[in-house]
Structure 1
Amino acid sequence: MVFQSIYETWRSLLDTLWKALGFEGKEGSLVVLGLDNAGKTTLLHRLRTGGDVRSFPPTDRPHQTEKFESQNIKFQAWDMGGHEAVRHLWEDYVCECSAVLFLIDAADTKRLEEASFELDALIGEKIVKGLPVAILLNKCDLEEEAMSTTEICKRIQYDDLRRMQGEDNISIFRISVLRGEGYQSAFRWIADFL
């Protein structure tokens, strides 16, 4: 009886400390952008299901995913689709979010210029002003096809993007949705903004 009382007292103190430090109850909303076939829907499915990976057809219209948790934060995400016909809608959803994930297919050299153009439009036109923007270089598990981070940074003019967005508000991460690697660091980085 005495031990149970001590246990409950300590548990209550730890729960209070946990909440006071802001580790409980944090929530955030994300907009997941990038060209079609970059891995946006697959990433969100993996996060939502706790690790299940499967292929999806291209997303044809924006849709809200179920909530998922990462880094002790509950997230709600919008999967916007990346084909050209829906990109004009990105701006409408960005204003309602806490952070932006922009996925780039690191193995798709032919479309890197197109991805760079869309990313530059988001940042250069101040659509994502003040928001943390995590650039996720997906498909890095395709070692022979995937470009290096240095090459991608040069081709998307990453230093210019950092100047426009603010150096602390943009970061780049190498990931593999298929292997479940790298995106955890992006969520830790985003967690610091919430």
Structure 2
Amino acid sequence: MNYRHLGEIVETQPTIGSNVEEVNYKNIKMQMWDLGGQSSLRASWQIYFSNSQGIILVVDSTDRNRISIVKEELFRILECAELKGASILVFANKQDVKGAMTATEVSKALNLQNIKSHDWHIQSCCALTGDGLGPGMDWLTERISSHKTSK
């Protein structure tokens, strides 16, 4: 599978375990962890949350069968003390695929409107073309920047 990384096409494989990369976006350096979503790995996610100011959750908008699992895991991680004050960006990915849930449908399925403890935003996207990635990252970096200046 390929995706665009800051304008460059990169070949990818499903994440087994975790990967880390430093990304500089609009003069903000971020250490990004790509955590595998397999059920056996979810218990270890919490060790990566220390000092996190943002979470990016990428949802496969074509996978209606597992959206309830995504919702359960999202609400579980939002209870972690290490994520207090972190902003949540949800990418509703695969918008280029016929029959994909819209961002509104994903938002409803995840019950995002009930998240009161964190700023959140949902963004339609297509990782293959890069559509929607910029606006989502803009939203997140604005939150991270304002969080740093308010301290």
TM-score normalised over the length of structure 2 = 0.84
Residues 1:61 and 2:20 are matched in the alignment: no
Q: Distance in 2 between matches of 1:186 and 1:140?
A: 14
Aligned equivalent of 1:152: 106
Superposed CA offset, 1:124-171 (max 9, x none): 4555220011011111111x221122222221111112x232xxx111
Alpha-carbon distance change, 126 to 155 in structure 1, aligned in 2, over 3 angstroms: farther
Aligned equivalent of 1:35: none
Aligned equivalent of 2:9: 52
Q: Distance in 1 between matches of 2:84 and 2:124?
A: 23
Alpha-carbon distance change, 128 to 109 in structure 1, aligned in 2, over 3 angstroms: same
Unaligned runs of at least 5 residues, structure 2: 146-151
Count residues with an aligned counterpart. Answer: 144
What is the CA distance between 1:183 and its match in structure 2?
1.3
Q: Distance in 1 between matches of 2:19 and 2:96?
A: 28
Superposed CA offset, 1:23-46 (max 9, x none): xxxxxxxxxxxxxxxx9xx66xx3
- For the residue of structure 2 that corresponds to 1:177, the secondary structure is coil
- For the residue of structure 2 that corresponds to 1:64, the secondary structure is strand
Aligned equivalent of 1:177: 127
**AA partner of residue 71 (structure 1):** K
- For the residue of structure 1 that corresponds to 2:44, the secondary structure is helix
Q: Distance in 2 between matches of 1:190 and 1:149?
A: 17
Unaligned runs of at least 5 residues, structure 1: 1-38
- Indicate the structure with greater helix content: 1
- For the residue of structure 2 that corresponds to 1:102, the secondary structure is strand
Please show how residues 106-125 of structure 1 align to structure 2 within 5 Å.
106-125=61-80
Aligned equivalent of 1:139: 94
What is the CA distance between 1:88 and its match in structure 2?
1.1
Aligned equivalent of 2:149: none
Q: Distance in 1 between matches of 2:95 and 2:81?
A: 29
- For the residue of structure 1 that corresponds to 2:86, the secondary structure is coil
Q: Distance in 2 between matches of 1:76 and 1:175?
A: 21
Aligned equivalent of 1:4: none
What is the CA distance between 1:73 and its match in structure 2?
2.2
- Superposed structure 1 runs of 4+ greater than 6 Å apart: none
Q: Distance in 2 between matches of 1:188 and 1:150?
A: 20
- Indicate the structure with greater strand content: 2
Query: Identity rate of aligned residues, in percent?
Result: 25
